[in-house]
Structure 1
Amino acid sequence: MKRRSRILVLAAAGLVALSGCSAGSDSGADGRIDGEITVLTQRTDLVDTVFEQYKQEFAKLHPEVKVTFQGITDYEGEVKIRMSSQDYGDVLLIPESITPEQLPSYFEPLGDAAELEKKYRFVPEQTFEGKAYGIAITGNAFGFVYNKKLWQQAGVTAPPTTPAQFLDALRAIGEKTDATPLYTNYRNGWPLAQWEDLRASVAGQPDVITRLADSDAPWTPGDPQEIVDTLLFDAVAGKLTEEDPTTTDWETSKKAIGEGKIATMVLGSWALTQVRELSATPEDLGYLPFPAQVGGRFHSAIAGDYKNAVSVHSKNKDAARAWVDWFADKSGYATAQGGFTPLLGGPEPDSLTDFEDLGVTYFELDRSKDALVKKIDKTAEIGLYQPTYRQTLIDAARGANGKSKEDVFGELNQRWAEAKSQVTS
């Protein structure tokens, strides 16, 4: 499961859905809420266990509301298709492909963003014209899930502070252990989007989105976007990743990293709890910052994962909103999953002791130009939070498509510049 995460994971569910537009729900004059709601989730692994417990707790406050869950394996792909109709549940996670100006067409506003920001983190991530449309299910930091024991066996005892040191560490792992140094999860695709969130660690400040919006060539040497993607390219070109990326498997990788078969994976901090739960030696698994420092310190943005939202087509909006509020305020999901709670002033995740020990500086991103960046990205058909362009980059690095790194970056810069000119003219 992921995010954005974006990620972010899951078991099969068909397009035939329990209707999110069930009949008859209203708040009565006494404030009682009733009706039936369908809640879509990417956490297929939790639908029959943890989410059933949540439903029982929610029922203590709202006994007249019937909740049905739908776990969806290919959440982004399937929900995008369903949203072409009016049948996409009552409560759902806002897909990454939705742009800010599309929010009112699909989702019910939850209130003024400025008011919700007095209670919740990450509100600006899903707002439009001053209205908020989603509340984060959890929040993440960004870096690498890694097997500490393997890194130590390779003689790497201090976190790399530059991409060159990181590549040296991967080489040592490849030479001194039997593990895959860095696993891309190429075939499943969505994990490659996790690389995008690392750009803030390179910049070390909240203006990464603004820099993207203002740039005509984000893949220029030395820019955060280029540094992150070059590290991926160089790792693949150096044969420090899986032998055949077309055969990778996300569910298998979660176990393999705990078994010592994989040393490192780029994933949001949400993943650390999951891989530890599957490992016989969870103490071997930790979280490593991106190999870049600013002012002698590591940095990581923190951002909301998927956002719970209410379908604009729901006939049970009061019940759906009650679930969204309860999930954010009462469920404890974020803490249980090792994430940052969406509630302001909530505790930092216990799972991120590695970041704490290293003195990693956290910050939220300046999102004042987020809508512009998403519009440029969509017009350019790049997909910063989609897998395709990084799959192309990996194919270039392994010699599968006849392109060089410079070819790929040149094409990306050209498409970005043309789209930016079109969007801002």
Structure 2
Amino acid sequence: MRFRNQVRGVALLAAAALTLSACSAQAGGGSAGEIAGEITVITQRTDIVDTVFADYKAEFEKKYPDVTVNFEAITDYEGEIAVRMNTDDYGDVLLIPNSVKPDQFATFFEPLGSVADMGKEYRLVEEKAYDGQVYGVSITVNTQGLVYNKKVWEAAGVTDLPTTPDEFLDDLRAIRQNTDAVPYYTNYADGWPLSQWDGNRGVMGDPGYQNTHIAYSDTPWAPDEWHGISDGLLYDVVAEGLTEDDPTTTNWEESKTLLGTGQVATMLLGSWAITQMQQAAEDAGGSADDIGYMPFPYQVDGTFHAQIAGDYKNAINVHSEHKAAARAWIEWFAKESGYAHHEGGISPLVDGPAPDTLGDFEDAGVEYVEMDPAPQGKESQEADVVAASEIDLYGNIYRQKLVDIARGAGDGDKESFFADLNQRWADARASVGE
């Protein structure tokens, strides 16, 4: 697989699909007009909005003295922004929520340019494009894997990376037996971390996989399909008691310290999490070198593969009165803020630098996979099936149910749960058509 300039992947952060009321789109003017005025930038980064983003504000306003930037940070971003988007008042710059389907982009967001033109400068432009027009620019680019505490894994006697789900389970059992650490932490209570399990489709080593095996398959949860493999592993980890005692009491912010200090061994998260875990380790008196990043335990022809995909996309509210200033912010954020580098991510720029944080992947010989975009005219195929099936494929609700069943707090077992998911998916595909 080669590292192309334009990719389409699965969003790293997601929520259950929400129905957004349609407002009439205003035409034109995304980059026209004077770069001036007061703009509101809405972000999900509640942890750094008063620190790092304050520095961004100072630097941006130094370059554009006629613009004033205000930030609004939202904890439950997906839920709250969807409600706000039933009005015209959802900031000037915002992150495109995962609940907005491609054919709704023009209703809510200002087009930024054609896929061909935007793709010359930015990666991943096809991820939030429709009918040839781009509506968002990635804040950073991530790959997918498992963040882990190297000292804990070494203390458990594990010296080689697991290459299969069964080997991964064996390693977690060794951690349980030989250390005091929780082998795996679900982050069930916050919910959104469970959505990270969907972002690893590239593990199958096929850039076209989602266009042939998911949106056009009646059995995505079969044992040899991606969702059957990934969700099946999550189920088995929980069913064997290799996770925290009570998943309803997990806490995302606390989990960083737990992993950084070795009280937790492993979590499946995008590469964006590496720097946060390293910082948590240092804050607790440990070392950033204790934090490692391993590929998902699955190989194709003896090789690990990992999907690369964009994080949230900065977009312009179609109702903004200061679209030129909003566009300037989006471009400055991608080109000059340094956000992607500071977060340990891959640059959203075609010619941007590679991060140092992915050295573990290089050592493991991981090949990056960029998922092919959906065929033209079929951009909404998967999203339509997701909506019709009422399975929040990119979210956390059905995976929380999976965890509940696996830990004995829900009815059924893995086979019955996956059979139900496959049936609902097949019925939805039949209703949507191809």
What does residue range 289-368 of structure 1 map to in structure 2 within 5 Å? 289-368=295-374
Alpha carbons of structure 1 residues 43 and 263: separation in structure 2 relative to 1, 3 Å: same
- For structure 1, which segment, 362-371 or 184-193, has the greater mean C-alpha deviation from structure 2 after superposition? 362-371
What does residue range 152-191 of structure 1 map to in structure 2 within 5 Å? 152-191=154-193
What does residue range 243-282 of structure 1 map to in structure 2 within 5 Å? 243-279=245-281, 280-282=286-288
Aligned to 2:406: 397
- For structure 1, which segment, 343-352 or 388-397, has the greater mean C-alpha deviation from structure 2 after superposition? 343-352
Alignment check: 8 A CA contact 1:4 1:306 kept: no
Gaps of 5+ in 1: 9-24
Alpha carbons of structure 1 residues 27 and 206: separation in structure 2 relative to 1, 3 Å: closer
**What SS is found at the alignment partner of 2:146?**
strand
Alignment check: 8 A CA contact 1:26 1:34 kept: no
Percent identity for Structure 1 against Structure 2: 54
**What SS is found at the alignment partner of 1:37?**
strand
Aligned to 2:205: 204
Alignment check: 8 A CA contact 1:5 1:270 kept: no
Alpha carbons of structure 1 residues 281 and 5: separation in structure 2 relative to 1, 3 Å: farther
How far has the Cα of 1:403 moved from its partner? Answer: 1.1
- Is 2:130 the partner of 1:121? no
1:421 alignment partner, one of 424, 427, 430? 430
Given the two structures, how large is their TM-score scaled by the length of structure 2? 0.91
Aligned residue type for 1:407: S
Alignment check: 8 A CA contact 2:11 2:309 kept: no
Aligned residue type for 2:418: F
**What SS is found at the alignment partner of 2:299?**
coil
Aligned to 2:12: 6
Given the two structures, how large is their TM-score scaled by the length of structure 1? 0.92
Aligned residue type for 1:198: N
Structure 1 distance, partners of 2:403, 2:128, is 31
**What SS is found at the alignment partner of 1:384?**
coil
Aligned to 1:55: 57
Alignment check: 8 A CA contact 1:26 1:35 kept: no
Alpha carbons of structure 1 residues 162 and 91: separation in structure 2 relative to 1, 3 Å: same
1:379 alignment partner, one of 368, 378, 388? 388
C-alpha distance after superposition, 1:344-380 (max 9, x if no partner) = 0222211011001111101210122552111111111
Structure 2 distance, partners of 1:207, 1:408, is 27
Aligned to 1:20: none
How far has the Cα of 1:406 moved from its partner? Answer: 1.1
How far has the Cα of 1:45 moved from its partner? Answer: 1.2
Aligned residue type for 1:413: N
Aligned to 1:12: none
How far has the Cα of 1:220 moved from its partner? Answer: 1.0
Alpha carbons of structure 1 residues 56 and 27: separation in structure 2 relative to 1, 3 Å: farther
**What SS is found at the alignment partner of 1:70?**
strand
**What SS is found at the alignment partner of 2:273?**
helix
Structure 2 distance, partners of 1:166, 1:324, is 40
Aligned to 1:11: none
Structure 1 distance, partners of 2:31, 2:125, is 27
Structure 1 distance, partners of 2:38, 2:351, is 33
Structure 1 distance, partners of 2:299, 2:245, is 31
Aligned residue type for 2:291: L
**What SS is found at the alignment partner of 1:278?**
helix
**What SS is found at the alignment partner of 2:147?**
strand
Structure 2 distance, partners of 1:250, 1:4, is 21
What does residue range 48-127 of structure 1 map to in structure 2 within 5 Å? 48-127=50-129
1:407 alignment partner, one of 394, 416, 419? 416
Aligned residue type for 1:185: N
Q: What is the total number of aligned residue pairs between the two structures?
A: 405
Higher RCO by CA contacts (8 Å cutoff, separation 6 or greater):
2
Alignment check: 8 A CA contact 1:4 1:96 kept: no
Aligned residue type for 2:266: T
Alignment check: 8 A CA contact 1:141 1:301 kept: yes
C-alpha distance after superposition, 1:197-225 (max 9, x if no partner) = 12321x11212211212201111111111
Structure 2 distance, partners of 1:281, 1:5, is 30
Task: Supply the RMSD in Å over aligned alpha carbons.
Answer: 1.8
- For structure 1, which segment, 303-312 or 293-302, has the greater mean C-alpha deviation from structure 2 after superposition? 293-302
Structure 2 distance, partners of 1:330, 1:246, is 40
Aligned to 2:21: none
Structure 2 distance, partners of 1:146, 1:26, is 43
How far has the Cα of 1:59 moved from its partner? Answer: 1.3
Structure 2 distance, partners of 1:285, 1:319, is 39
Aligned residue type for 2:426: A
Aligned residue type for 1:160: P
Alignment check: 8 A CA contact 1:141 1:303 kept: yes
How far has the Cα of 1:402 moved from its partner? Answer: 1.6
C-alpha distance after superposition, 1:318-337 (max 9, x if no partner) = 11111011111111110111
How far has the Cα of 1:27 moved from its partner? Answer: 6.4
Alpha carbons of structure 1 residues 40 and 102: separation in structure 2 relative to 1, 3 Å: same
Structure 1 distance, partners of 2:180, 2:10, is 31
Aligned to 1:139: 141
Aligned residue type for 1:317: K
Alpha carbons of structure 1 residues 259 and 4: separation in structure 2 relative to 1, 3 Å: farther
- For structure 1, which segment, 55-64 or 37-46, has the greater mean C-alpha deviation from structure 2 after superposition? 55-64
Aligned residue type for 2:205: G
Structure 2 distance, partners of 1:46, 1:153, is 34
Gaps of 5+ in 2: 1-8, 15-29
Aligned residue type for 2:118: L
How far has the Cα of 1:6 moved from its partner? Answer: 2.1
